[in-house]
Amino acid sequence: MGTSTPPPASCCAPLGASGLTDEDARVTAELFKALADPHRVRIVNLLAAADGPVCVCDLTPRLGIGQSTVSHHLKKLVAAGLLHREARGTWSYYHLDADAVERLASTADLRAAAARPAA
């Protein structure tokens, strides 16, 4: 009796998604690193739900932390490229950077993973 070779195990199947370049992975990691704080995640969530740019004075009471702490978190998010800052008189207004949000979404696109058949 001859032995037949079993089909490859599903755990050994090649990855279907195209991989990120090293530079794409580095840049995207910086975006995720900037979100490694619950207050920053809440800021991004509040801005995503807003109809337009939001004043720092409106974020402070919603977050329940001091204005200087909110400003610190906003500065980190701007430096990472997740937010844009616009000065209007003595106040600053913030909105999400659409390209950065798209980069985050495409990196962790769970919809595509959910569409693949289970192993």
Distance (Å, whole) CA 48 – CA 43: 8
Domain membership flag for residue 61: yes
Domain membership flag for residue 65: yes
End-to-end CA distance of the chain: 30
Amino acid identity, position 65? I
Predicted pLDDT at 108: 72
Q: Are 89 and 56 in contact (CB under 8 A)?
A: no
Domain membership flag for residue 85: yes
Domain membership flag for residue 9: no
Structural domain span for residue 85: 22-108
Domain membership flag for residue 6: no
Domain membership flag for residue 86: yes
Domain membership flag for residue 66: yes
Number of domains within the chain: 1
Domain membership flag for residue 92: yes
In tens, the pLDDT along 83-93 reads 999 999 999 99
Contacts of 30 (CB under 8 A, 6+ apart): 80, 81
Q: Which domain CATH number covers 34?
A: 1.10.10.10
DSSP per-residue letters across 10-64? GGGSPP-SPPPPHHHHHHHHHHHHHT-SHHHHHHHHHHHHSSS-EEHHHHHHHHT
In tens, the pLDDT along 14-37 reads 555 567 788 888 888 888 999 999
pLDDT beyond 70 at 60: yes
